[in-house]
Chains A and B, each alone.
Chain A
Amino acid sequence: MPARLPAILLRYASLLVFILVLLYFGVQSPRFLGVDSLGNIIKQASFIGIVAVGMTFVLLIGGIDLSVGSNMYLSAMATGYALQVPALQTPWGAALAIGLGLAAGAAFGMVNAVCVVLLRISPFLVTLATMVAGRGLGTAITQSFGIEYPPVYLAFGASAPLLIPTPIWLFALVVAVATIALTMTQFGRQLYAIGHDPEGARKAGIPISRVIFAAYVICGLCAAIGGVMLIALIGRLNQTFGVGREFDAITAAVLGGTSLFGGVGTAFGAVLGSTLVQMVQSGMVFTQVNLYLQPMVLAGIIFLAVLIDGLRIGRLEALSRLGRFRLQRTPAPPKPPVPVGKT
């Protein structure tokens, strides 16, 4: 019994922190809980949230992708160049341009996948290199000039079918698809297995190369979705677009309960995490926290998330070392003798 309460608290730590932060700012500034304010927070969170969903796939297998910020930049750039063609400045043309951007992002993810799976380089180093290389490539192509997006594309960014902004729809769609993929497909369950024990997964007959490859491509694709969506709101692509977003995405995923050690996490966690970060940022504006102190508060929250992650893993280890006796006694009723010999 003494082990139960901390275990439950740790399991739902993300949700708990989320609710506490929401209540805190709500009490401090009741306007914070208004529909406009909350809607705006979710909309602002959706871009990083989408990237964080992709990041979740990679974190689940015990990997990491530091290149998603550069990926956002390159895929937004691909879409931007396509939109310079007058014939594409129509709704259908914009759709094609978006498709091009997404393909660029998936291709970027594939480069990471090839390096990680085929060349067996550590994901941290691979994606650190492609982060720098991707940004460099983009700067070389644009000659560091900005790209302007046509009105049709800005209209797409500002659209709100059924009064709900397009970014939120997109976010919901990505999370729904990812949740189905993670919980209801063989591929999804195998991601969790690989993150828990890659060598064991190989021995169990899971095609781990293919699964890992797919995870990086999905992460690249999600980064691209986040990139082309965000640029539709900004309207102008600068050389610094997406810089540092990899850390926002990792933060959001980990805040949402995804473990940096692999094998633990959900797509919905990315919603919690990204919204939490945005909520804290908006909340600090509402409550007029000193501008220069705001990064420190965020850093504190990130620290907390990683600390909880570490505790959770350590805790589980300690519990599993104990084996069954303390853990099983409470939930399982005394075992009835099992009839063996007939089925």
Chain B
Amino acid sequence: MTAALSLAEISKSYFGVPALTGISFDLEPGRLLGLVGQNGAGKSTLMNVLGGVVAADAGQMQLFGRPYAPRRPADAKANGIAFIHQELNLFGNLTIAENIFVADFPRRRGLVDWSSARSRAAKLLQMVGLAMPPDTLVELLSPGERQLVEVAKGLSVEPQLVIFDEPTTSLTARETTQLFALIRRLKSEGTTIVYISHNLGDVLALADDIAVLREGQLVAQGRATDFDIGKMIKLMIGRDIDALFPPRHSASPGAVLLQAQGVTRRGAVDNVSLSVRAGEIVGIFGLMGAGRTELARLIFGLDTMDSGQLALPDGVPRHRVTPQMAIAAGLAFVTEDRRQEGLLMNAPIADNLVLASLREFASGPGLVDDTASLAAAREMARRLSIEARDIAVQPAKTLSGGNQQRVVLGKWLMVDPRLIILDEPTRGIDIGARYAIYEMIDQLASAGRGLILISSEIEEVMAMSDRLLVMSEGEIVAEFQRSAWSRELILRAAFREAEAA
């Protein structure tokens, strides 16, 4: 039987650093390959080679028995390969149908054939299980719905090979179930699929075959039945960690660091009251758009409250908080979006690390003492085991996602905060690096810091929190103690019960 996709000795290096070394495998038609590996293991490079974004230095590819050497992304498309990327590539000001066909509309006499575009879009939407009119503006959709539009866009070219790159990161549980049903159906119709994910449980549930990449090499491949999660983790990391989360060391809660009373911002956060004590990790779980990030922004003073009050670690209740006050009172906010908000990507790592604490290195007339700040930055980089050649010159953008997140965290740890808000601290970070971040969170709590952990990964908040608040539509709909929660109870609360049924 001819393989749908066959790679032979594919190698690629960037500036002399090998990203892929001698990758060979065959994927039979109609099967699903689960591709796993840490960030930086070479998954993206491999997909870029396949998609014609970069050319391999050596090796051959075959697609359904024909030699395949794409030179640009359009070549991949023309050969029946569809990519469904993790990062959404949609235009909010256009409708669903327009987004699906934006590069190539069905046309009649030079004009867009709207009726054909609409009906084709409607068919694709039905296929991916999104019950929305094709004329809906994409900016009105939730992140999960947008992801499904992205899938519909990928399927619009009737591909023979579909590559899913982390398709579930912004999907709700129900949308994920729908997507998996679609993937299984595509497979049953003979489509070959490559599925890339950090969620090893999903991979195991979906895949026929599994391939594990580590440091640019294929370290294992075989039938999915020969793998379990522990084995995959070991293969990916190359050493023995078989748990996803470190053990939690619960400290006895100390002084109240944050007390929110009826905090409200119209349309975003509705009458939220909460408190956080020293040594406590308070998880905030909710679906996308539940108002978690908005709440964090209010606490940190980035947005203003319409009503309610907030007592920071200094204990004074205030109606109006500014970021300066929050920082002065010992708050730190590790934002969700590292690229846009958390890091100066082109600046050296050391500069990023000392950014929030520059004042402490100022001497005399306010000039920064470079030697002292660099020494402190090096100490922090060592403590967090940030993997870099030289933090004084290397720009932050050269780091992997996990290391970047450590830099953001390090920046805030250098001001020695009393209360740290972490917004999706492990998004897009691989298992090994996650584990290190979880350990760090645990240590911070043991050392008497208060933490707010915002996450849409239920396993993460359940493993790390002492207490858990569930948000939905801007309100806190449930609060659970560590001893009294269950996955089902939390999800029911997040979906407001009726929807979970």
A interface with B by C-beta (< 8 Å): 2-3, 180, 184-186, 189-190, 192-193, 195-197, 200-201, 203-206, 263-264, 316, 318-328, 332, 335-336, 338, 340-341, 343
In angstroms, Cα B112 to Cα A326, docked, is 33
Indicate if the CB atoms of A185 and B110 lie closer than 8 Å.
yes
Residues on the B chain within 8 Å of A201, using CB: 91, 102
Residues on the A chain within 8 Å of B472, using CB: 325
Residues on the A chain within 8 Å of B474, using CB: 325-326
Indicate if the CB atoms of A324 and B141 lie closer than 8 Å.
yes
A-contacting 9-mer, from B30-38, B125-133, B460-468: B125-133
In angstroms, Cα B114 to Cα A133, docked, is 43
Indicate if the CB atoms of B129 and A340 lie closer than 8 Å.
yes
Are A340 and B89 also in contact (CB < 8 A) when A322-B267, A322-B289, A326-B267 are? no
A-contacting 9-mer, from B177-185, B200-208, B216-224, B229-237: B177-185
Indicate if the CB atoms of B93 and A323 lie closer than 8 Å.
no
Interface core residue of B91, B92, B266, B294 (most chain A CB under 10 Å): B91
Indicate if the CB atoms of A196 and B94 lie closer than 8 Å.
yes
Are A324 and B140 also in contact (CB < 8 A) when A196-B91, A205-B74 are? yes
* Chain B positions 14 through 50: 1 when the CB is less than 8 Å from some CB of chain A, otherwise 0: 0000000000000000000000000000000000000
Are A340 and B110 also in contact (CB < 8 A) when A192-B93, A196-B92 are? no
Which B residue's beta carbon lies closest to that of A331? B140
Indicate if the CB atoms of A206 and B102 lie closer than 8 Å.
yes
Indicate if the CB atoms of A205 and B73 lie closer than 8 Å.
yes
Chain A to chain B: the 4 pairs with minimum beta-carbon distance, closest first:
A323-B289, A324-B142, A205-B103, A340-B181
In angstroms, Cα B473 to Cα A195, docked, is 31
Indicate if the CB atoms of B93 and A196 lie closer than 8 Å.
yes
B425 part of interface (Cβ distance < 8 Å): no
In angstroms, Cα B112 to Cα A319, docked, is 30
In angstroms, Cα B103 to Cα A206, docked, is 5
Residues on the B chain within 8 Å of A335, using CB: 131
Tier of interface size on chain B? 35 or more
B145 part of interface (Cβ distance < 8 Å): yes
User: A193 touches which one: B73, B91, B130 (CB < 8 A)?
Assistant: B91
B266 to chain A minimum Cβ distance, whole angstroms, is 6
Residues on the A chain within 8 Å of B268, using CB: 318, 321-322
B interface with A by C-beta (< 8 Å): 73-74, 77, 89-94, 98, 102-105, 107, 110-112, 114, 123, 126-127, 129-132, 139-143, 145, 178, 181-182, 185, 266-268, 288-291, 293-294, 472-474
Which A residue's beta carbon lies closest to that of B126? A343
In angstroms, Cα B126 to Cα A338, docked, is 8
Residues on the B chain within 8 Å of A205, using CB: 73-74, 77, 103-104
In angstroms, Cα B175 to Cα A335, docked, is 12
A174 to chain B minimum Cβ distance, whole angstroms, is 18
Indicate if the CB atoms of B145 and A324 lie closer than 8 Å.
yes
Indicate if the CB atoms of B123 and A343 lie closer than 8 Å.
yes
Which A residue's beta carbon lies closest to that of B142? A324
Are A204 and B103 also in contact (CB < 8 A) when A193-B91, A197-B91, A324-B142 are? yes
Residues on the A chain within 8 Å of B267, using CB: 2-3, 318-319, 322, 326
Indicate if the CB atoms of A340 and B94 lie closer than 8 Å.
no
Residues on the A chain within 8 Å of B139, using CB: 316, 319-320
User: B111 touches which one: A180, A321, A323 (CB < 8 A)?
Assistant: A180
Indicate if the CB atoms of A190 and B102 lie closer than 8 Å.
yes
In angstroms, Cα B127 to Cα A12, docked, is 36
User: B291 touches which one: A190, A322, A324, A336 (CB < 8 A)?
Assistant: A322
User: A189 touches which one: B102, B141, B181, B291 (CB < 8 A)?
Assistant: B102
Indicate if the CB atoms of B185 and A341 lie closer than 8 Å.
yes
A193 to chain B minimum Cβ distance, whole angstroms, is 5
Please name 14 further chain A to chain B contacts, defined as beta carbons within 8 Å, in addition to the given A324-B145, A341-B181, sorted by A numbering: A185-B110, A189-B105, A203-B89, A205-B74, A319-B267, A320-B92, A322-B289, A324-B289, A338-B126, A338-B130, A338-B178, A340-B185, A341-B185, A343-B126
